[in-house]
Amino acid sequence: MTSAIPTDPREPAPDALTRAVDEVEEFAAAGGWAAPRQMFALVRTADLLAAQPGLAGQIGPASSHDGASDPAARIAGPEYTPIAQESLPGESVADALATITWPDEVAGCVLVLEILAGPGEAQAEARLAAGVLRDLPGGACLLRWRHAPDGPVLRGADLAPGLLAALHGTFEP
How does pLDDT run across 106-125, given as a tens digit for each residue? Answer: 999 999 999 999 888 999 99
Q: Any bridge partners for residue 11, and if so which?
A: none
Per-residue pLDDT band for 68 (boundaries 50, 70, 90) equals very low
Q: Is 158 exposed, middle or buried (0-12, 13-18, 19+ CB in 10 A)?
A: exposed
CB count within 10 Å of CB 29 equals: 16
How does pLDDT run across 75-113, given as a tens digit for each residue? Answer: 444 699 999 998 887 789 999 999 999 999 999 999 999
CB count within 10 Å of CB 3 equals: 6
Per-residue model confidence (pLDDT) at position 51:
84
Does residue 7 have a pLDDT over 50? no
Which DSSP string corresponds to 13-34? PTTHHHHHHHHHHHHHHHT-SS
Per-residue pLDDT band for 1 (boundaries 50, 70, 90) equals very low
Per-residue pLDDT band for 42 (boundaries 50, 70, 90) equals very high
Average pLDDT of the segment spanning 121-145: 95
Does residue 55 have a pLDDT over 60? yes
Contact 48, 55 (CB under 8 A): yes
Contact 111, 130 (CB under 8 A): yes
Would you list the domain boundaries of the chain?
16-169
CA distances for 22 relative to 18, 83, 84, 117, 142, angstroms = 6, 14, 15, 19, 7
What's this model's pTM, rounded to 2 decimal places?
0.80
Per-residue model confidence (pLDDT) at position 105:
94
Q: Which of 57, 19, 23 is nearest to 38 (CA)?
A: 23
